[in-house]
Chains A and B, each alone.
Chain A
C-alpha cells in the first residue's frame, strides 16, 4: 500500500492554495467550489491511475517469477482501488469545512463517471464516427461501410443467420425451460438437484461449451477408425453413414444454436420456476376443482400469470444471442455459411483490419439492441418494484 503515500502528498501540496482564496471571501466562493469539485473528481482518479500504472509497469519489464508477478498484480488491483478512495477522503478532510460537503459527493461519484466516460461514452461516440471512415480510420467515406453491411453476400448471410438465432434459440430455450420448470415443480423430492443440473452449463464459458459440443459433433470419414463423437456414434449405430455435421449447410447453423440452447435453458428455467412458484396455490386448486385438466391449468391459469417473466426472459435472451460471437468463432470460425453479426464485427475489425466496416457492423448491432433493451429495462424495473 506504499503507493498511497505519494499520491496523497501530491494533492496536499495543491490543497492550501484554494484554501486561502476561500478564507478571503468565504460566502461567494461558488466558482472555487465548482473548480475544486472538478479537480477532485478528475485529478484523483487520474493520479491514482498513474500510480497503479507505474506500479504495474515497473513489474512488467522484470523477468520476475510468474506467481510473484500475479500476486503483485492482485495486490495492486485489489487494494489500489480502495486505497484510492481512502486517499481521496484524506484529502477532502483537509479542505475547509464549508467546501468539504460540497466536494465529497464528487469524490464518491467521480471515479465512476470518469471510468464510464472513458470506457463507454467516448468509445461509443467514436465508433459511430469511425463507421463513416475508411479501413485505417483516416478518410471520410460517407455511408459506404453501411452500404457494404447491407449488400455484401457474407454480411447478408450473417444478418439472415442472426435473425434465425434470435427466433429459434429463445423460442426453444424458453419452451424447454418453462416445461421443465412446470414439471419439476410437481415433484416432491429431487427438484433442487434436477434444476441445478440444467442450470449448470450457465457456469461454463462459451469457449468451453463449444469444445464440449465440437466433441459431440466430431466426425471421421468412413474407414478412418471408429466414430468418437457421440452424435456420429448414435448415427452410425442406427445404420447410417457418418456425417460431417459442421459442414452440412444450412443445418450446421442449427447445431451451433443447440449449444446456445444448452447454455441458456437453465437461465429461463430458474426465472420461470420462481415465477411459477409465485402463482397462488388457491387459484390452481380452484381451477382443478372446477374440473380443469393439468394442460388447461397450465395454459389458462399459470401461463397468463407468468407472462411478464416470460417476456423478460425472452428479451434478455434475444440480446445475449445477438451478441453471440465465441461459439461461431470457435466452432467454424464463421465459415461454411455460419456467419453471425457479432462474429463479422470482430472479423472485419480484428482479422481483416478494416476499422470502418467493423465499426459499422457494431453500430448496426447497437441500433438493433436499443429497442429490445428498452423493453427489457422497463420490464426489469417493473419487476424490481413488485419484488
Chain B
C-alpha cells in the first residue's frame, strides 16, 4: 500500500521514463489485464447485490440485474422501497440498534480487561505472573464451540458443585449482557496476548521515571500506557468489532430469536428462511448488515488490515 505514495518521487527520479501516456498504458498489459479480471470477478457478486437492492420487486423478478447496464436510465425500475420495507416491517432498523448495543460493549469490555491484565503481565511484579500469562495464551486453542453448551446451561440454571451454588441462576439468556460476556470471554486470550506484546515492548525508562515521580500503577496505566498503546488498541478494537458484528453463532445461541433483541445477522438469516425468494428484500437486508463494516473498512483500512492479520489466530 506504500507504493502509491512513493510513486511520484520514483517517476521523477527515473530519467529514462519519458514515454507517452499510451505507451505507459500499454506496458505490462498482460499483468494489468489479469489483475483487472480478478478484481472484476471479485466485485461482481457484491455489485449485483447492490444494484438489485435498488430495483423494484417487478424488475428484480423479471430480468437479471445485469440488464440495467444496457438501460440504466429506465427510471421506472429504481426504488428505495426495499430499504423502507426491510428497515421497518422486517425489523432491520431495530436489529441494527440491537447490533450496536451488542457490539460496542462486547468490544470495549474485553479490551479494557485485557489492557489492564496486559499491563500487569508486563510491568508489575507478582508470583505466578509468567505461568498465568502462558495459561491465558494457551486458551487460544479452545474453539468457542467448546463453550456453547455449558454456558447456555450456566446462564439458564446456574452451576452447582456438590450441592453448593457456585454460580447463581441469573436467567441471562436473551439479554445483551449474555452476549457481551460471552464475546468478552472468547476474545480475551487473543486480546491479552496482542496487548501484552505491545505494552511489554514500550521502553521501561518511561515507566520507571513515572514511578519515581510518585505515580501509582493506575495513573501510569491511564495516563501513559493507554495513550501510547492507541495503535494496538485500535487494531484489536476493529478486529473485535467486526468479529462481533458479523457473528451469527453466538447471537443465535445466547440471544435467542425474539425480534426485540435479535441482531442484524439473525434478522438476515431469518429473512432468508421466511422469504427466501424475495430477492428485492434479501438484497436490501444484506446490504444493511454490510454498511457499517464496509464503512469501517474504507475509513480505517490501515488499522483494519493490521487488526485482521493480527487477529487471525483467534480460537
**Which residues in A have their C-beta under 8 angstroms from that of B221?**
108
B227 within 8 A of A: no
Q: Is the CB of B64 within 8 A of A228?
A: yes
Asked if A115 meets B35 with Cβ closer than 8 Å, knowing A70-B98, A78-B105, the reply is no
A78 to chain B, nearest CB (A): 5
Residues of B within 8 A of A384 (CB): 197
- Which residues of B from 37 to 69 have beta carbons under 8 Å from A? 38-39, 42-46, 48-49, 52, 60-66
**A48 vs chain B, min Cβ distance (A):** 11
Tell me, yes or no, whether A126 is within 8 Å of chain B by CB.
Answer: yes
**Tally of contact residues, A, Cβ under 8 A:** 114
Does B170 have its Cβ within 8 Å of any Cβ on chain A?
yes
The chain B residue sitting closest to A266, CB to CB, is B42
Query: Can you list, as one digit per residue, whether each of B96-129 has a CB less than 8 Å from chain A (1) or not (0)?
Result: 0110110011101100111011011100111001
CA distance A206 to B151 in the complex (A): 24
Stretch touching chain A among B74-82, B174-182, B202-210: B174-182
- Given A188-B7, A198-B39, A215-B282, do A366 and B63 touch, yes or no (CB 8 Å)? no
> A127 at interface (Cβ–Cβ under 8 A)?
yes
Tell me which residues across on chain A come within 8 A of B245, comparing CB atoms.
205
What separation, in Å, do the CA atoms of A200 and B293 have in the docked complex?
10
Q: Are B248 and A326 in contact (CB under 8 A)?
A: yes
Binding site for A on B (CB under 8 A): 1, 3-4, 7, 10, 28, 31-32, 34-35, 38-39, 42-46, 48-49, 52, 60-66, 94, 97-98, 100-101, 104-106, 108-109, 112-114, 116-117, 119-121, 124-126, 129, 132, 136-137, 139-143, 145-151, 153-154, 159, 167, 170, 172, 175-177, 180-182, 184-186, 188-189, 192, 197, 216-218, 221, 242, 245-249, 252-253, 260, 265, 268-269, 272, 279, 282-283, 285-286, 289-290, 293-294, 296-298, 301, 304-305, 308-309, 312-313, 315
Q: List 30 A-B contacts (CB under 8 A).
A: A56-B177, A77-B106, A77-B177, A78-B105, A81-B112, A109-B116, A109-B126, A109-B132, A111-B116, A112-B113, A120-B142, A124-B142, A187-B32, A192-B3, A200-B46, A203-B242, A207-B289, A208-B289, A211-B283, A214-B282, A215-B282, A228-B65, A233-B66, A270-B308, A323-B143, A362-B145, A362-B148, A365-B143, A366-B141, A377-B313
